[in-house]
Structure 1
């Protein structure tokens, strides 16, 4: 039986779990670069890819890798005990969309705490860059931590993958509450202009752990594009207080 192996890794502006969007396209301006392993960094392997607008990524969850602070990470289930499996997986999880308090079946969610740590993400293809070390795929809207292993890349095919009649189950009854972001102009200028829209989208999605009691005076820290972005949240209003 053959083993899965990474063909590439993605480089993103989010080095920790804290702040990663809970689904792709919740932060559509988030930038990512897919860098192939040398064995797969072949021009012939991506021939024709640039004619597609969107891609599917198959990738590996890394639940054992901490991010943010311990209080910011949902300790819903134990982490994987060995690569490729999760011996301590739970048949039910507490999705953030339900406030982190109600449980549903793991297979009725996209929770990362699964029997096998396999993720599926749809991203927008920005461009394919040709470099001396092989092609680099630039994407937008990925919900992946920096350095995530990529197992496979497939084109999104509208006539087969788009289903306008699809329903969203329990998710449709529980709309996500976005935050209002107060980001002073003096602090915005510290962040590169092309990185700023993605950062605001991440903050708007509320990086904090769902279901926890939150102190409006508490200062949270988000690692983003080499910056330490500090913010507070009072009810539905998020205020950026510093950018380091």
Structure 2
């Protein structure tokens, strides 16, 4: 970190996220909602040092502080429309978890799977992430249940986890393609189901008949799907992205 002469501070990244989410669409809005999402953090430069990780295996979960690099260049506004409220009501940005913030800093709790080293590169394997691929990481801290989980805390419009009794089905074609790609991604069916169970569509689309065919990219796969009704989403096809 470098302190500037004015009211600015410059941080150095300590790592980057390797994530199955290659685009913003379909990333769950909170961590932990898609437990089958597996990724990693590759430490870089001075942070690529085993001593920084000494003792971290004692903790099951970690806080990851990061930069919203996918939206940082778009600036911010004092009022935003939380998707949880259907996109119809504005709240102050500091009363939400919008990515469009005065400083584009986010925090996410993830499950620590293990630590490995590949060609002198330290890699923290994690799961349950809600992070875009190549997200810059500025800090990592252990999750401490007795202080980080507050019984009886009030959470305003987000007091309860959204309940969506969505049924996820696979067409015959998608079933065959899933079997093929499971050789590389063993948890692919569960991963797709958990992502689609969050219904990634814009809020206004969920309130009306929607015949659009959507596409989402997970890993290097393009997954086409369509809402069959308000309670069912069907996976139509899965194909590998060329190049």
Give the TM-score taking structure 2 as reference length: 0.85
Alpha-carbon contact 1:188-1:196 (below 8 Å) kept: yes
Give the whole-Å Cα distance in 2 for the aligned partners of 1:186 and 1:163.
45
Alignment of 1:152-231 (within 5 A): 152-172=139-159, 175-177=162-164, 179-184=166-171, 185-191=175-181, 192-212=185-205, 216-231=210-225
Any stretches of 5+ residues in structure 2 without a counterpart? 4-8
Give the TM-score taking structure 1 as reference length: 0.85
Structure with the higher helix share, 1 or 2? 2
Change (3 A) 1:93 1:240: same
Any stretches of 5+ residues in structure 1 without a counterpart? 65-78
Q: Tell me, what secondary structure is at the counterpart of 1:34? A: strand
1:236 equivalent among 231, 235, 239: 231
Give the whole-Å Cα distance in 1 for the aligned partners of 2:154 and 2:89.
21
1:28 corresponds to: 35
Change (3 A) 1:133 1:173: closer
Give the whole-Å Cα distance in 2 for the aligned partners of 1:4 and 1:215.
46
Alpha-carbon contact 1:178-1:205 (below 8 Å) kept: no
For the aligned residue pairs, the C-alpha RMSD in angstroms reads: 1.9
Alignment of 1:3-152 (within 5 A): 3-64=10-71, 80=73, 86=75, 89-152=76-139
Larger radius of gyration: 2
Q: Tell me, what secondary structure is at the counterpart of 2:193? A: helix
Change (3 A) 1:29 1:238: same
Question: Which has the higher relative contact order, 1 or 2, with Cα contacts under 8 A spaced 6 or more apart?
Answer: 1
Give the ranges of 4+ consecutive aligned residues of structure 1 lying more than 6 Å apart after TM superposition: none
Between 1:19-28 and 1:98-107, the stretch displaced more is 98-107
Matched residue count: 224
